[in-house]
Structure 1
Amino acid sequence: MKKKKILALLLTLAMALSLTACGGQEETSDTPADEGGETSQGETADIKVGLICVHDQNSGYDVAHIDGLTAACEALGIDPTDTNQVVFKYNVAENQACYDAAVDLAEQGCDIIFSDSYGHQPYMLQAAREYEDITFVSCTGDQAGVSGLDNFKNIFPYTYESRYVSGVVAGMKLKELMDAGTVTDPKVGYVGAYPYAEVVCGYTAFLLGIQSIVPEAYMEVQYTNSWFDLAGEAEAANTLMARGCVIIGQHADSTGAPSAVQDAQEKGTVAYSVGYNIDMLSVAPTAALTSAQNNWSVLYQATLEKFMAGEEIPADYATGHANNAVMISTLGESCAEGTQEAVDAAWAAIDDGSLKVFDTSKFTVGGQTVTEYEVNFSIIDFESGDVVFEGPTENVISDGAFQESVYRSAPYFDLRIDGITELNNNG
């Protein structure tokens, strides 16, 4: 089966929405990171770093970035508690506020400026054009490779790897429940923020991980149309459980879904949770099985090391578990016997390349195996249809697998495979 997809991205839409985080408040604050320990090199480096966050420490997603940059700086001899070296801006919305924050960081003397949300990207790009001697790095962005700017970069981890392995954890639990006769319908649910490629990539990998243990498993996805919405995520989880889903995964940034699953479990519902970003055991001690996590310090450190050494930073940089960039959290007490062994085997196979997460022999689209899928990596203005940045068209399937995060760092897997139903996809 041959498929073709044009990635038409509206720049003005990107100002309002994001692939990885969105919904920041208008308030902006400059704050150093939480206090860190002694730097590994014993002296501070001659560099000033800025990070623009869409939320603050109340968001697990932003905490992962804050902690990641803090750890990277400490490893490189940069003092994250010194505002002369590291400046954090919190609650920066994906609009003109991001440009203003980027300009302010540039004027404060930052040599390299990061932002943690896709929706920040157009404003980071605008600032990069104006400050050619400063490097701007947009996490989860997709325009660095085609923008033609030497000082604009994108970074992102192989999130699909941790999604797959967290699916193995879920699959082990589902199999245990089915073997015991507690569950007869292998339906799982997923709380997704938006029907973007990053979310589609993640929930697909999650189901494929489950199906590696329970081949007949299938999934329903409920979108919240928000990255951070405690009540909305809880409501979505409750909707999925009411429809018979016994495992609830998520790609949203709050504890709403795991908390709802824990509450339902305590009231007698057979249901378990797989979270994202942070360990959810504190809010779901018996319902949480694990969480898919990103170790952003790996990407920040690799980028900063090249910058400090005067080496060229790739326009798109992505890496995964082989370099400790992704992981899963501590297994919960409710995990099935043998789960750790299954997890270890999955990681080993991913690392040595014998397991390809998007092996095309493991899924179908419309009942057929996908043998070719062309993606146009141009950036196109949705309203006018004009090409903003010209990019190549690539067949992203080779060696029997969809090659995710190879042609650019941000995910572009958006195939809707058989066995997954989006309950409210308006995208």
Structure 2
Amino acid sequence: MKKLMGILLAASMVFSLAACGSTASGSSSAAASSNGTAAADNADNADNAYAGLKIGAIVLGDETEGYSAAHINGIKEAAAELGISDDQIVWKYKVPEGGETTDAAEDLVGQGCNLIISNSYGHQTYMVEEAEKYPDVNFVAMTGDFAAISDLDNFYNAFTSVYQSRYVSGVVAGMKVKELVESGTLTPETQPNSFTADGKVKIGYVGAFGYAEVVSGYTAFFLGVQSVYPDVEMEVMYTNSWFDIDKEGAAAEALISNGAVIIGQHADSTGAPAATQKKKDAGTICYSIGYNIDMLATAPTAALTSATNVWSVCYKELFEGAAAGSIPQDWAKGYEDGAVAITDLGPEVAEGTAEKVAEVEAALKDGTLHVFDTSKFTVDGKAVESAPIDLTYYDFSTGSPVAVYAGETKEAVSDGYFHESELRAAPYFTLRIDGIVEDTEPVA
């Protein structure tokens, strides 16, 4: 999901949100497929159930950009499964986070759309204005965060529990780090730059912004690595952009030069995996964990897997709800619903990785594993016993926070873990845990 640059930089320390893909084909890929038969089975019912539905889609990018491609594919897959025809969907591509959102929404209303979706967080404040203006049209800001407190019956948010798939991708990375160390390939003597002074293996992460969505994701990734190989330290570099191939590549190269042997990412391009592959081809020990899409075409030997979202699961529920007149106002779905996954495992993953992934995914699905188990991390050397979350939506555009929509303050920690995406769909984990270092300046 994306962030509204003008109003939420400071608010992101409390609020959040970002980006995802429906191209999963690894151990969780079954949830992203099987649409063909279902579409045929449901086509006969389309006239009755969905004939009156006309969908408008406001998309930040297009099929050439991983995040938007994931949403586009998700919409198309859900529509096909339900028998919704192509002419019932009107597309608005490359709509930036600004007033163009309003123009796009107005045009979609004029074309008779009664369900209008936007896929970027920065569209949200314009979408809610349109929802107020057109109460008979349903507006859904995917990855948004204040629908539940907006007092509007026709405004909705949805997200995925992508932090779960980031944790699983971290397990894949942890398996590789463990293999490198135990095989003697990676040692303080042969690769001193890849170890901290106290003997921890260095890993890196390319982040878009320091928002809760990104913080939640990279923390989940780090905890996944630590679950397999505890002695790691992670450096995070920000690009201050959701999609910038050059900056993402430069950040990956800088992290690798600093000694990182694994490069994770929460950014939307192939820049980081491509840079990692280039370094690997030159003889450096380094591997990539991507986001949104399978990165094997970009980094055929460096890519281990990508964390991704199966957006079709959310869009199917949305379309069914719209047809039935019962759209959930703020919902998130994860492994238990097949809404998140990792992509195919790369050729150089550690032996036993597929089996370990299956074990971890099963535990996430049945609820026996919680990503943010508070016994697994500390903040400033102390255990986390409480994390109050203020769900009020603030406007920071004037420099001073103004409460636009009042929300309750709720406790996120109970039963031994931080309950991410349960108080609202959008991520709100902003704790800076020990073992992760954020660079103070974004990559140039």
Normalising by structure 2, we get a TM-score of: 0.87
Partner of 2:32: none
Partner of 2:55: 49
Partner of 1:305: 320
Residues 201 and 414, structure 1, Cα contact 8 Å, conserved in 2: yes
Q: Residues 343-358 of structure 1 correspond to what in structure 2 (within 5 A)?
A: 343-358=357-372
Higher fraction of helix: 2
Give, as a single letter, the amino acid of the residue that structure 2 aligns with 1:42: A
Distance 1:331 1:385 in 2: 44
Secondary structure of the equivalent of 1:290?
strand
Of 89, 100, 104, the match for 1:101? 104
Q: Residues 34-113 of structure 1 correspond to what in structure 2 (within 5 A)?
A: 39-40=39-40, 41-43=42-44, 44=46, 45-46=50-51, 47-80=53-86, 82=87, 85-113=88-116
Of 395, 404, 417, the match for 2:420? 404
Partner of 2:22: none
Secondary structure of the equivalent of 2:314?
helix
List per-residue Cα deviations over 1:8-50 (Å, max 9, x = no partner): x9895259x99426xxxxxxxxxxxxxx979432244311011
Please report the RMSD computed on the Cα atoms of aligned residues, expressed in angstroms: 1.9
Q: Residues 320-335 of structure 1 correspond to what in structure 2 (within 5 A)?
A: 320-335=334-349
CA displacement at 1:424 relative to structure 2: 2.7
Normalising by structure 1, we get a TM-score of: 0.91
Residues 223 and 425, structure 1, Cα contact 8 Å, conserved in 2: yes
Of 167, 172, 188, the match for 1:169? 172
Q: Residues 195-274 of structure 1 correspond to what in structure 2 (within 5 A)?
A: 195-274=210-289
Distance 1:424 1:164 in 2: 25
Distance 1:63 1:11 in 2: 22
**In percent, how many aligned pairs have the same letter?**
53
2:185 corresponds to 1:179: no
Residues 14 and 122, structure 1, Cα contact 8 Å, conserved in 2: no
Of 327, 333, 355, the match for 1:319? 333
Moved over 4 A (4+): 9-12
Residues 10 and 381, structure 1, Cα contact 8 Å, conserved in 2: no
Of 377, 388, 406, the match for 2:404? 388
Gaps of 5+ in 1: 1-8, 22-35
Distance 1:134 1:152 in 2: 9
CA displacement at 1:380 relative to structure 2: 1.7
List per-residue Cα deviations over 1:160-212 (Å, max 9, x = no partner): 00000000000000000000122233111000000000000000000100000
Residues 116 and 139, structure 2, Cα contact 8 Å, conserved in 1: yes
Partner of 1:359: 373
Give, as a single letter, the amino acid of the residue that structure 1 aligns with 2:277: Q
Secondary structure of the equivalent of 1:208?
helix
Distance 1:240 1:286 in 2: 19
Distance 2:373 2:36 in 1: 43
Partner of 1:20: 18
Gaps of 5+ in 2: 20-34, 188-194, 196-200
Partner of 1:292: 307
Select between 375-384 and 354-363 the one with higher mean Cα deviation.
375-384
Partner of 2:198: none
Give, as a single letter, the amino acid of the residue that structure 1 aligns with 2:207: G
Distance 2:143 2:391 in 1: 15
Residues 248 and 271, structure 2, Cα contact 8 Å, conserved in 1: yes
Partner of 2:31: none
CA displacement at 1:385 relative to structure 2: 2.9
CA displacement at 1:369 relative to structure 2: 0.5
Of 138, 150, 153, the match for 2:156? 153
Distance 1:308 1:263 in 2: 49
Residues 169 and 290, structure 1, Cα contact 8 Å, conserved in 2: yes
User: How many aligned positions are there?
Assistant: 400
